Amino acid sequence: MARLPGSNSRRFPSLPNRHSPICNLSVPADLERRLPTHSTPPLGSCLARDAITVKQRRIQPVRIMTLATLFFSAFLLVCWPVSAQRASAVRTNGFIVESDRGTVQIRAYPNDAWLTLRGPRQSLNLRDSVRTELRSGVTILNPQTVGIGLDESSRITVAGDRLLRLETGNAFLKTLGEVREEDGLVVLLPGGKALARGTEWVIRIDPESGKSTLSVFSGTVTLVNTNLPGDPAQTVEALDVAVMSSNTPPTLTTAKLTSAGLGHVIQWMLYYPGVIYLGDLGAAVTDEPALRLSVEAYQRGNLLAALTNYPSGRQPSSRLEAIYHAALLLAAGQVTASEDLLRWPGVSSGDSSVEERLTRALQEVVATVTGAPFTESAEPQLASEFLAKSYYLQYSPQARNERNRLGNALAAAQAATKLAPEFGFAWAQVAELEFGFGRRGEAEAAIDQALKYAPENAQAWTVKGFLLAGLNQLTPASKAFEEAISLDPNLGNAWLGRGLLRIRQRDIAGGLQDLQVAVTQEPNRAVLRSYLAKAYAVAGNPERALSELATAMKWDPKDPTPPFYAALINSQENRINAAVRDLEASQALNDNRSVYRSGLLLDQDQAVRGANLAAIYRDAGMLDVGVREASRAVSYDYANASAHLFLANSYDALRDPRGITLRYETPWQNELLLANLLAPAAAGAFSQNVSQQDYSRLFERDHAGVFSQTAYLGNGDWLESFSQYGIFGDSSYAVDVNYLNLEGWRPNEEEQNLSVTAKFKQQITPKDNLFFEMIYSQVDSGDLIQYYDPADAHPNLHYQETQLPIALIGYHREWNPQSHTLFLAVRAEDTLTANDTGWSTLTINTNDVPPSLGALADQLSYDSQFVLYSLEAQQIWATEDGRFTSIFGGRYQWGGFDTTSSLADPRANNAPPYWDGQVDPDLQRGTFYFYQTAEPVRTLQLTVGLAYDNLTYPVNHRTPPLFDQESNLAEWCPKAGFIWTPMPSTHLRGGYAKSVGGVSFDQSFRLEPNQVAGFVQAFRSLVPESIAGSVVAPVFDTYGASFDHRFPTGTYIGLTGAWLESDSGQGLGAFNTYEQTFTDDDGNTVTITTFEPPLTLHTDLHFTERNFIATLNQLLYEHWSFGATYRLSDAQLQQQFVEAPFLYEPSALLQSLDLSVLFNHQSGFFAGFDGLWFHQNNDDPSNPTQTGDDFWQFNLIAGWRFLQRRIEVTAGVLNLTAQDYHLSPLNLIPYLPRDRVYTASLKLNF
C-alpha cells in the first residue's frame, strides 16, 4: 500500500480481511471413486497447513491435549484390535468341500464305501478321498494351503496337510497360504510327485496311459519320477508345460502357455451363461416327455438341475435336442462334449435354418468365453442369437477398446427380451448391463422380470445381491448371494458377493475364504483375483496380495483393475515409485473396463485413477505433477468426489498458514464443499484430518476411528489435531478439534487458533443424501501482515476473531450417474475486533492545489459483525458416453455488516475518542452460471461458460472513519478452455476466464466451478492483502497455458504460464483538513489545522501478475525421487486516488528455485532434502532502499511410517544455515522460517 508523504512507514489504508472460515470441510470419496487406503497428510485445515513450517507459542492448553493424545496412543498400541491384521492367521483345520455340481462322492477313511455328497461344507480328514462322476465337479479348499478344482471323472485323496494324491482326472491347484521352501505343497502322481511352491497349475492324468501333463500358470513346480533310478526331476516355470509317465522322466514340451490360451487348459472351470430360449427350440424339445424334468428346470433358470435331469446315456432324437443338450453341457464346462454334439451331420455351415442359427449362437458363446475369434454369418433373428451376441459384444477381446460396447450389448439383450418377453436369461443380462450403466432403477426392474420367469437363475440372484448391497441392505443382499450359491455352487460371482459382504461386516477370515473359493472356481477372471488380493491386503498380507495381482495380470494383461489395486497396496506398503508405475499402467488400460462400464462410468474410473495417482505423486514429492493430475481428474468426471477432495488438499497446501494472504481460500473451500456433497454418506470418514479412502464400497466396513497429530518445533511451538469419526450403515460423522499456537519470527506475530467442527451425513434414500456441518472457531493474533522489513510491523495491533457456529446444510440427489442435483444453504456469523495504539488515519487537504495526502497517528478501536446467508442450487448433467457435460446453477447471497469504530489521541491516557461511528451496510449478490464441456474427439476436451453477477456491496466498512455507503456491480463473465491429449502421456491446456470476487468469505461458500481447463478462475483476492489490504468486488481476468509430458523413463516435465489481472475499487476513510495561517496580537505567525467532516476517498486498484513455472521430476529406481521447480513471477500494482493526484506503482520480480531429493524405503523409512533459492528485484518508489534480496534456505527431514502407515514419526531441521531474508509481499511468497529451527511430529490413525 502507498506510504503517504512525510508519514511513518506504518500501513494504514484498511484492516486485513480476517473474515475466513477456519476449518476444513473435507470428505472422502464415494462408491467406487476413492483415494488410496492410506492416510494422507492432514492438509485440510488452515490450523494444520504444514507441520514443518508451523510455529506456536503459548503451549499450556496444547500440552494437556498432547498428554491426552499420547495416553490414548499408548492405549491403542496395546489394545488396538488387531483382528484385521491377524486375519490371515485364523486357521481352518483340514480340507473342506466348498461346492459341487453333479454327482460327487466321498470315501471317509477307514471305510471303503463311497457315499454321495449331500451338500457343501463337508470336512475332509486325513486319508479321505473325493471322486467326481461324469458331468460333475467339485471345489475343495484348505484356506491355509491350497484350493482345488476337480474336473469330471477325477479322484483325489488327502494324504496330509500339504500332501495330496491325485489318482486320475484333471485338477486345478492354487496355493493359498504362506509356502516356505521347506514345506511346499506335494501332490503324489502315478509314478512320481509334484512339488509346488507358491504356484497355480493344472495336472491332467490320462485315464488310459497314466501319463501326467503339468501346465504351470505361475510360480514353480518340480516334477519328479520316483519310479526311475535317481529320481529324475524337472523344474517347470510359469507358462511351461511338462509331461511324465511311470517309465519316462519328466520333460518340458515345446508348447508355451499364453495369456490368451490359459483358459483352454481349464475350460471345465469356466462359466458359460445360458443363452438358448426354449421357444426357439420348439415342441421337439419342450414337449418331449423324456425331457420334461430337465426342461422344467431349464425354464426355472437352473442349468445344473436341467443337466442332472437330462436322461443319462440318451442319444438326442433331433438336431434341436442335440443343441439343447450341448447348451446344458456348456453350463457344466464340458466344452469338448458340447462341441461334439453341435457337429450334427447333414447341415452345412451356411444353412440359415433355426438349427444352424442356434448352433452358431452356442459357438459364439464359446468364442466369447475362450477369447477365440468369431465371425457372424447372418444378422440375428432369434432371441437366442441376440442374447449370444450381447455377451459377445460385451466380453469379446476383439471389441475391448470400444467405449460404447456396453450400449451395444444392452441393445442386443433388450432385443432378445422384445422377441421373448418371458426369456429369464435375457432379462438377467439386461439387468447386469443396466447396472453397468449405473441405472439402478432400470436394473431392479429387469432383475425382477428375470426372477419372475426364471426364479432359479443363480446369476440373476447374484445381480440382485449386488443391487441390494449397493443400497446398503446387507441382510437381504446376503440372502440373495446365499440363494445363488445354493442354486449354482460353482458361480464365482456369487462367492465374490458373499465374500465382500462378509468383509464389510468385519468377518475378514470368512470373506477371504469365500474369495478364495471364487478364484479357485474361475481362475481365469482377473477381477476376482483383484478382489481376493484386496482381501489379502485388508487381512494384513500385502505380499500375498501383490502375488495374486501379478497372477491376475498374466491372466488378463488388459484389465486395469489389478495394477490399480497393486498401486494402492504398494503405496500403503511405502513402495511409492512402484505405486506410481502401477497406477500409470492402470490409467492406460482404463477403457478396457468397457465390458463392465458405460462411457461415462469409464470417465469416472479414469477420474478415480487420476485422483489416486495425484495423491501418490504427492507422496513422491511431485506436488505440481499431482495438482495437474487432479485437475484432469475433475475434467474427466466433475461429479467425482475423490478428485475434488484431492484438489482441495492441493489448494490447502498453497494457503497462508496465518490466514492473511487469502488467494486460495475460495478454490479450497469450493472443492471441499463439492467433495462433501458429492460423496455418499457411507463412503468413509468425514474428518477434516483424515482422508483414508477405499476404492470399493463393498470393502468398506462400519467402524469408528481416531486420528491425532502432534507437531513440535525447537522453539517450543506446538500443533495438535484430533479427530474422532465413524461410519455406521447409512450414516457418517466426524468431530475435529484443532489447536494452533504460532509465535512467529518477529515481535507481535503471535497467533492462537482453536476450532471445533462437527459433521454428519445421512443417506435418506438410495438417491438422496443430506449433509450437515457446524463450525466454531476463535482466533487471537497480533500483526500478521508480511513486511519487507519486519521492524515495520505494528507492535500494538491486536485482532480477535470469533466465528459462532457456522451452519451448512447440503443436499445431493443422484438421479442417475449422468444427473446430479446439489443444494447448499449456509448461515455464517463472524465477529472481528481490532485495537491498535499506532494506527495511521488518512487525511486529505483539499485546499492544496493539487490536494495533498497526509496521516494522523491514532488509537484505533474496531468491532465488526458480519452475518451471511447463502443459497445455491446446481445441476450436473452428462451424456451416457461421457462426451458432453453441462453444469448450470444459481446462487443468492444476502447479509450485512454491523461495524463500529472509534479513533482517539494515543498521546493521552484514556482519552475519549475524538471520532466514533457506526455503519450497517448490506451485501446482496445474485449469480447465474452455465458451463458446457464437450469432447468432439476422444483426445480433445473443450469448455465454454458464461456467468452473470450482480453484486451490491459496502464501499467502506473497514477503514475508519467509516461511511454507510453501498455500490453496485453487474458483470457478464465469459469462460473458455481446452485440454488436448495428442498422446496418452502428453497434455496441452489453455484457458481464459473472467470472474467477480466478493466482499468477505461470501466468495468461498459456492458450488460454481472454480477452474476452467485446470486453471483457477475464482479467488478471494489477487492483490496481496499485505500490500493493499482487503478489496471488495474485484473483477478477475485469468489467462493460462500449460504443457506437460511423461517419459517412459519416469521423467516428468511441465511448463505453465499464467497472466492474472485484478481490477477493483477501494473506499478509504479520511479526514478533510486544511490549514489557516494568521498573525496574532504579538505579531507571531500561527497555523491552525481545521478538521472538516470525514469523507471516503476512492482508489482504483489494477494488479497484474505474470507467472511462469517449469518443473522437472525424476523417479529413479525403487526409492528415489528428484525434483526441480523454477518459478518466475512479475507483479505490478497501480493504485490511483480519485480525489488526489497520487499514484502508487510498485513492482517486484521474483525468481525461485526448489531442488529436492526424496528417499522412500519399503520398510517405512523416508528422508528428504531440499534447497530453496529466492531472488527478488523490487521497484518501489515509496521505499527506494527496499531493492530485494538473494538467498538460499536448506531443509532436512526424516521419518518412519509403520503399521501400514497408521503411525508416522517425523523429525527434521528447517533453514539449516539460519538464513534471514527480506522479500516484498507484492509477490506471492511462502511463509519461511527466519532462523534455524528443529521440528518433530507424530501422527496416529486408527
**Cell digits for 262?**
490359459
The series of mean pLDDT values per 10 residues for the chain, 1246 residues long, is 29 35 28 28 27 31 43 42 35 70 88 83 88 88 86 90 89 75 77 85 89 89 91 90 91 80 72 89 90 94 90 88 91 82 61 83 85 79 93 73 74 94 94 85 93 94 90 89 90 91 87 90 85 86 86 82 83 85 79 56 54 73 80 80 79 80 87 85 58 42 83 86 86 89 88 91 89 92 90 90 91 90 95 91 84 86 94 92 90 94 85 88 95 92 96 91 90 95 92 94 90 91 88 94 92 95 90 77 75 84 95 91 95 90 91 94 92 94 89 95 88 94 92 91 89
**Cell digits for 113?**
464305501
Strand, helix or coil for residue 155: strand
C-alpha pair distances (Å), 689 with each of 24, 31, 699, 721, 1155: 8, 21, 22, 8, 28
DSSP 13-48: S---------S------BTTB---SSPPP--S-GGG
- Note whether 107 and 155 are within 8 A (CB): no
- pLDDT score at 158: 92
The angle that helices 492-504 and 474-487 make with each other, rounded to 10 degrees, is: 150
Burial annotation 1001-1028 (CB, 10 A radius, 16+ → b, else e):
bbbbbbbbbbbbbbbbbbbbbbbbbbbb
Distance CA 994, CA 538 (A): 48
Identify the structural domains of the chain with CATH numbers, from first to last: 88-267 (2.60.120.1440)
Torsion, Cα 517 520 521 524, to 10 degrees, reads 130
- pLDDT score at 418: 95
Beta carbons within 10 angstroms of residue 377's beta carbon: 11
Name which of 147, 879, 7, 46 is nearest 520 in CA terms: 147
- Give the distance from CA 463 to its chain's centroid: 26
C-alpha pair distances (Å), 1178 with each of 11, 84, 1129, 1184: 18, 59, 12, 9
Distance CA 708, CA 1245 (A): 7
Specify the pTM: 0.80
**Cα–Cα–Cα angle for 804, 810, 813, rounded to 5 degrees:** 175
